[in-house]
Amino acid sequence: MSFDLQTLLGGLYLGALYGTAAVGFQVVLGSSGRVHLAYGHMWIAWALLLSSVHVVGSVPLPAVLPVMVAAGWFVGWFLHPVVLWRGPLSNERATSFFLITLGAALVIEDAGSRLWPLPGTAMAWAPEPFVLAGVTLPRAKLALMGAALITSLGVHLFLKRNRWGMALRAWDRGRAPVYLAGVSPESLGRRAAGLGFALSALAGGFLALSYTVSIREGMAMTVRALVLAVLGGTLSPLGVLGLGMGMGVGEAFVGQVLGMRWGPAVGYGLLLFLLPVLERRRT
């Protein structure tokens, strides 16, 4: 019983990490209407970067994480729209976006596997766990799960209450309402990309605090984020987080039965069998 609860807790925590990253992915998906295939690689690259700066550079964690989130925002705000929204592709087919992001994923994977040839080690942040009703509850994971919940709630409130957030939701349904509300689509795209990539950096930070990851897992992470973003509902951060936790629990139990190496099969299975069903319903 205790062992199953432990697995459940581990799955919930893992899913909270997936959910946090998928919320960022969904913001990018909602603003561009396109699938960003380099997102998972960026997520892991942030995790490895954080680990390197903290461990090798001996920079304290509270200093690294905010800087990294700000850097994520910078990547989204300044660089991303130049290539993908404002560049020569603004009116091109979705295929071009797809190719560019897939290409970027491969470039990051190749460069990342040279910078970090071995999987990045989980950082030594392990406060003393406590035991409740026979179940060991690690404080670090609970704290990070809480942080993931607060982050998703924050994005939820941003989308519901903030002018730009509401514009982003309107943008997802079509361009006309945004133009009518007097919102600049360019600024909206920048803000959305900034937020999306800041969230990827934050999720990378969470990942680095507890898991050993390799840049080679980038595409599997993108597929997970994609599945959660598509199935979680349109711009619904809490729905995505909830689904993420469900996926994490699924992976944990698959891992318990078949071995951890089968974990990605849950995401791939959902992609292969649910996406066609949803697409058929849509059309």
Partner 1 sequence: MRIRWIVMCAACGVLIALGPGPLSPYGAMIAWTLLLQGTFALSYDILGGYGGELHLGHGSFFGIGVYTSALAITHGAAWWWAVPAAGLAGGAAAGLFYPLLVPLRGVPFALVSLGLLLSCGLLARNLAGITGGTAGLSLPSAFDMDGPYLWSILLFAGTLWVHDSIPDSRFGRALCAAAVDPEAAASSGVPTGHVRGRALVLGAVAAALAGGIYPLPMAYVSPQSAFGLEVALAPVVAVLLGGPASRWGPLLGVVLYTGLQEWLWTRGWQWSLAMTGMGLMAAGVFLPRGLAGLVSGSR
- Cβ atoms of 194 and 76 closer than 8 Å: yes
Question: Could you give the C-alpha distances from 267 to 26, 271, 280, in angstroms and in order?
Answer: 16, 6, 19
Beta strands in 94-186 (DSSP E): 130-132, 135-137
Q: Which of 89, 122, 135, 166 binds partner 1 (CB under 8 A)?
A: 89
Inter-CA distances, 279 with 106, 228, 270, Å: 27, 15, 13
Judged by CB under 8 A, which of 5, 8, 219, 238 binds partner 1? 219
Q: Which listed residue (22, 44, 223, 240) binds partner 1 by CB under 8 A?
A: 223
Report which secondary-structure segment, H or E, holds 51: helix 39-55
- Assess 262 for contact with partner 1 (CB under 8 A): yes
Residue 106 is a binding residue for partner 1 (CB under 8 A): yes
**The one among 70, 79, 82, 111 contacting partner 1 by CB under 8 A:** 111
Q: Is 110 in the site for partner 1 (CB under 8 A)?
A: yes
**DSSP classification of residue 118:** S
Gap between the Cα atoms of 211 and 204, Å rounded = 10
Give the SS3 label for residue 135.
strand
CB nearer to partner 1: pick between 148 and 223: 223
Q: Minimal distance in Å, beta carbon 191 to partner 1?
A: 24
Question: Binding of partner 1 at residue 271 (CB under 8 A)?
Answer: yes
**Sole binder of partner 1 in the list 95, 118, 128, 133 (CB under 8 A):** 95
Binding of residue 79 to partner 1 (CB under 8 A): no
Q: How far is the CB of 18 from partner 1 (least distance, A)?
A: 16
When asked if residue 172 is in the footprint of partner 1 (CB under 8 A), the reply is: no
Question: Do the beta carbons of residue 257 and residue 39 sit within 8 Å?
Answer: no
For position 256 contacting partner 1 by CB under 8 A, the verdict is: no
By the 10 Å C-beta count (0-12 exposed, 13-18 middle, 19+ buried), 150 is classed as exposed
Q: Give the binding site for partner 1 (CB under 8 A).
A: 34-35, 87-89, 92-100, 102-111, 113, 219-220, 223, 226, 259, 261-262, 264-265, 268-269, 271-273, 275-276, 279-280
